[in-house]
Chain A
């Protein structure tokens, strides 16, 4: 790979050991994919929280920050384990509090913007069409490529951090126009999509991810006015059962105004995949892992809830009380929580017995201590959240619509799809 003078100097250690380590990572990574050069990035997002980093990961970050290493590009951070403001109320064990304080301190010293959010594109990290970015979070990465038209590969945290420090990324994969063309035609025209809610789009994404794998699919016959929550539901779930980084939604994705544009030429004469309702129905039972009806916790926010989603949940909870043995958490960013407070939603939600929790996501962080508090069966409206809560933390899960989940919190039992 060709390095310019500045990158060469970094490699020689003339800009500190942090920059040297960062550029070493990028060179090894770029060489794997025969990248010819580095290109500037405008935005970085890093993902790992304590369950991913472990103690050794924190030490690695602390080592990177030694000597005053700083990010040179606007960099935001995914959710953590708990909200510092609620740590006592949530009974977070001191060991986890100490780890999160260390992570917070080292990110602060690196100059990372402490969003603790996975809807960072709603709270300030908004790339433009065509921007080269490094987002290490497969859900938002596919959203950036497919909805915004920014360009990011499926980079891990080490690569994203190295890009943040150096300001550049090796040019390969989805950074190059010729690699962004559609590879598979997916026709959803046989489904009655007018009746679909976001959970149904997640079930659809679950079924499709398994077939799509790492290829770039082109979806045709989606409603032109498809709600953003449905778009998110489809995209975020496709990257759970599959590994694709870009999805062309014809009529929605900026690079896919037509099916020809999506394929960069003539589309295949027949759809590679014609989805049937039975494929979608089957997903519901595959996503849920539980067979026990009693629900300990209903948890929303994978990705973190937007203000519109909180409003919808608050509306469903209005005048109701949660079952005494079931908790309900709405996970979101600090920004949305502040907005909820201003709009009276915080009190409204609290009076039902539910809580709004900032700085965490529903898929990972909190499950570490929730499990220790005896929470075993959860209900969730996110297929992604269900998958990670079950596979990484051993939770038993029910997956269904927002309405079915709220209902479970009120009755204490799962009565939704199965």
Chain B
């Protein structure tokens, strides 16, 4: 499955998807030492986004989030790529300063067509996302 999306940054990333239906704050919401979401009550609480393709609606919270994301990236615990429904400033800046491939405004809602564990390729140079569905029993 290949779908058009609007690039926020450039580059290509591929890997396993982790999907949140809730907005994410990098300040207080993600541990830069592990990449684990630590906001209490969050859908991804306790799960690591490190090395994954992170799919979520949009960013929220403190504008210092881009410093947190940068530290997570340098420590090797940031997601490999980002797909947002609608990009917001903190996440876009985080992606641009770390060179993380990022797209938004996909032609179909990414929260509906991507599941945890799917293999996803972001091509932010050409503006598309490719999804290879995982089998249901492979999903976590």
A residues touching B (Cβ–Cβ < 8 Å)? Answer: 21, 24-25, 28-29, 31-33, 47-48, 52-57, 59-60, 136, 138, 154-159, 391
A33: nearest chain-B partner, CB-CB: B89
Query: Which B residues are in CB contact (< 8 Å) with A33?
Result: 89
- Whether A154 contacts B63 in the complex (CB less than 8 A), given A28-B92, A33-B89, comes out as yes
Taken together as a complex, chains A and B put the C-alpha atoms of A47 and B88 apart, in Å, by 20
Interface size classification for chain B:
20 to 34
- Whether A56 contacts B71 in the complex (CB less than 8 A), given A25-B96, A138-B63, comes out as yes
Shortest Cβ distance from A194 into chain B, in angstroms?
Answer: 36
Taken together as a complex, chains A and B put the C-alpha atoms of A138 and B65 apart, in Å, by 13
Taken together as a complex, chains A and B put the C-alpha atoms of A136 and B67 apart, in Å, by 13
Shortest Cβ distance from A134 into chain B, in angstroms?
Answer: 11
Shortest Cβ distance from B80 into chain A, in angstroms?
Answer: 18
Query: Which A residues are in CB contact (< 8 Å) with B71?
Result: 54-57
Query: Once the chains bind, are A25 and B93 in contact (CB under 8 Å)?
Result: yes
**Which 8 pairs of residues, A with B, have the shortest CB-CB distance?**
A156-B63, A56-B74, A56-B71, A28-B96, A32-B87, A28-B92, A158-B93, A54-B71
Which residue, of A24, A54, A158, A391, has the highest number of chain B Cβ atoms within 10 A?
Answer: A158
Interface of B is mostly: helix
Query: Once the chains bind, are B70 and A29 in contact (CB under 8 Å)?
Result: no
Query: Which A residues are in CB contact (< 8 Å) with B32?
Result: 54
Q: Which of B75, B90, B92 contacts A56 (CB 8 A)?
A: B75
Shortest Cβ distance from A87 into chain B, in angstroms?
Answer: 24
Residue interface mask B95-126, A partner, CB < 8 A = 1: 11100000010000000000000000000000
Query: 7 interchain pairs (CB within 8 A)?
Result: A25-B97, A32-B8, A54-B71, A56-B67, A57-B70, A156-B65, A156-B90
B residues touching A (Cβ–Cβ < 8 Å)? Answer: 8-9, 28, 32, 63-67, 70-71, 73-75, 86-90, 92-93, 95-97, 104
Query: Which A residues are in CB contact (< 8 Å) with B89?
Result: 29, 32-33, 155-156, 159
Query: Once the chains bind, are B74 and A158 in contact (CB under 8 Å)?
Result: no
- Inter-chain contact total with CB atoms closer than 8 Å: 72
Shortest Cβ distance from A116 into chain B, in angstroms?
Answer: 18
Which residue, of A28, A29, A59, A138, has the highest number of chain B Cβ atoms within 10 A?
Answer: A28
Query: Which B residues are in CB contact (< 8 Å) with A138?
Result: 63
B61: nearest chain-A partner, CB-CB: A243
Query: Which A residues are in CB contact (< 8 Å) with B96?
Result: 24-25, 28-29
Query: Once the chains bind, are A136 and B88 in contact (CB under 8 Å)?
Result: no
B90: nearest chain-A partner, CB-CB: A156
Query: Once the chains bind, are A158 and B66 in contact (CB under 8 Å)?
Result: yes
Query: Once the chains bind, are A52 and B28 in contact (CB under 8 Å)?
Result: no
Taken together as a complex, chains A and B put the C-alpha atoms of A54 and B74 apart, in Å, by 11
Query: Once the chains bind, are A156 and B8 in contact (CB under 8 Å)?
Result: no
Query: Once the chains bind, are A28 and B63 in contact (CB under 8 Å)?
Result: no
- Whether A155 contacts B63 in the complex (CB less than 8 A), given A25-B93, A32-B87, comes out as yes
